[in-house]
Chains A and B, each alone.
Chain A
Amino acid sequence: MKHCPKCNRPYGDHETFCGIDGGKLVSDAAPVSAAPPQMNTPIVIEAPRVASAPAATDAIERIACEWCHAQNQKTALSCRACGAPLDIRNLVSESGWREAPRIRDMTEIHFGMSTCQVEGEIVPVAELNLGQGDAVFFEHHVLLWKDDHTPMSVMPLQGGVKRALAGMPFIISIAHGPGRIAFSRDATGELVVLPLHPGMELDVREHAFLLASHHINYSYLRIKGLRNILFGGQGMFMDRFVTSDQPGLLLLHGYGNVFERLLQPGESIMIEPGAFLYKDSSVTMNVESQKLTTGFFGGTGMNLARMTGPGRVGIQSMYVHHATD
């Protein structure tokens, strides 16, 4: 058995590189204990393989996922970490927006000792088979079904009154492995799979996150500036997901189609506030207003969010429209 020295993720003997961070795997010195596993303890499992094990001579040949940059076996059809198809090109518009990969029906994604299968394409479902010691957290209204023996608990959150007043969920539920549990939202859209590498910070529009693995720290960010709160389309808070020393998996649901763009330092883009889905914490967001007037009737106001790099910005095409006046 082998494991990744960077993220401690377990792998089988025939694997050579970590599917998440590309690190060269090392053999385990000691055999796996038969005792019940604890949280964060590396446990070796044989995850389902999409292709036969590569020979030692061609172990270097890997396919880098264009969506999450994870390294995959050269015979893999979809990314092990995010489920993106590996045999199609990255779809990038001329203006620089990268389309979120359309995950094939029944694609399986691996995280920790667990797997996530993406089912359906119009309103996709994320069905998790949680391994022992793994857990995911989520807003309770996205729960679709679960095994009756899958344990559940709630995550204590700070600022519960503020969150309740701001319309954010003040109870976040946790499902623990082992067991199966499935999630979906109630609108046409795409599942956006975002494997978070250690040390990443991602800000997400409130109510857009579907689930996150337990290695991810969840907090919220108060949006500053009255104009940003009133016209920014986010309310008062944004969700913030942070990884410390372990990678994690974050699943969002975007309404319609989802596009991502990488902004260079100082580069700006104006977006409809209701279309914002996620951004790196390094990207700043400021709402700017423009009055569109026509004679006696006064016209209307238009509010657009100026996103300034560096970092990624994700948008959804079926945006939540907010009153602009």
Chain B
Amino acid sequence: MVYTQRHPALLIMGLVMLGIGVSTTLGWQDELIKYLAIEKLTSEMTSLPYVFGGIAVVVGLWHLLGRHVEGNLDYYLSTIAGATFILLIAMLIRWYLDPWVAVLSKALGPVMGDKYLHDVLGLNYVVLGIIAGILVVNVFQVPRWAENGIRLSRLGLKTGVVLLGVLYSAAELRQLGGLSIIMIGFFVLGSVGLTLWMGARRNIPNSMGGVLAAGMGVCGVSATVASAPVVQAKSLEIAYTIGTILLWGVACMFLFPVVGHFFHMGPVQFGAWAGTGILNSAQVAGAALAFQPNGIETLKVAEIFNITRVLILPIIVLWLAVWYVKREEDAPGVNVGRVVIEKFPVFVLGFLLMFALSSTGIFAPAQHYQGAYFDNNVKPEKLLKPEAVATLQAEVGKVQRDDQRAALGRLIDNRKLMSPDDDDVLRGVVNAKLLSKDANGVLKEAHKAVRHTAKKIAAFRDWITWLFAFGLVGLGMQITIASIRQAGGEPLVIGGVVGTLKAVLSLIVVLLFVHETI
């Protein structure tokens, strides 16, 4: 069988990519880039289109004019057309559609704390990519010349999952509070176990149960994507899980603050509850800020719990890998140990290897979280200027709380932030809008001077973003309307039951055992 189609599509897509690169380089897109606020993406807009556009043009010429004979060359080079098709859609989403949605959403103003509508609904490149893929397959159908290459999307996802390990470190896990580890450990493991049990009782496929368990237990989209290849989840099952999590999160964001005020919860209690019960990171932050718009204490606690949950991901991935292999092969006479060795997904070990490498500190200081870390060894030119210090000194009287006054005093004395705690406390001052715009600007400047992002981790994040965008657009292309009808609403029911149970039980635990100090 000859896979390569004699078709000009790949050549045309290559030229379109080169067109994007050239027009960005020559500044023809400057106004659009400014409108979409994507200045930080211009470096990739002037590099990726040349690399992949160039490859597409060369291979596209071969597709159109070459002699195609059955064999490896034909088989593997034919995949370039589908892969380029997915990549071009991913580029259009990341550079144009996703920022445009953000611009429109921001024009409406914040809807929950300082969060905008697209944050609340989780409308980012992940969701937009899946929707784009679904539209392509259901409205236009996947072109024949792209069919072979679309099968590379899962490879992209798996590679992204392996790299995901570099974003976390064991040092960060050790720094977290004991209560957050116990509470999150209990509820994450409990949610995963309950979802798996309910899935088995209600006879949903193991792959659906596995991916839903990770999504409902850990942290939504990342956990879903990371566990999907482990349990061989189908495209529809991934989309279902992400949809369930986001819908659940939206409802929680509005309900949690109301319930929190009803029970007169303090910042620590509410932060612990929101960080445990809500699944999506942006939605956790939104609920915390909605509960306490004039300070950062709730947000800080919620973030600690949220980070703890994310860091349990490697354990959950490992658990699901072993669970899935056992479930699929658990027949009489089967040697489970041998089956685990034969069928265990090797890329999970890669994920754990990256987690271990990241924990050694070779990519970033070992205490980093997703590449961000505190370091106040700043250059003299980065210290606050005398006029900035004077701006702060003039407004010290506006700050009433002792801890905030003390942190502000240390900043004024040293012209830089002295500790991560001071940084957090003064972020609360900025959020509460206690000071003038100029003074808040100075505080933000001081924050930027000591908060760093490791360049290597930033580069890994870009790779992961692209690999996930590529994989999810491709997976979206495998979701047909007929398959959605066939799947029914069972996952939504299970997700709703597990989510509600987790929210209610964690509320009871928080009210009984969590006090205003951790």
Q: Do A and B come from one complex?
A: no
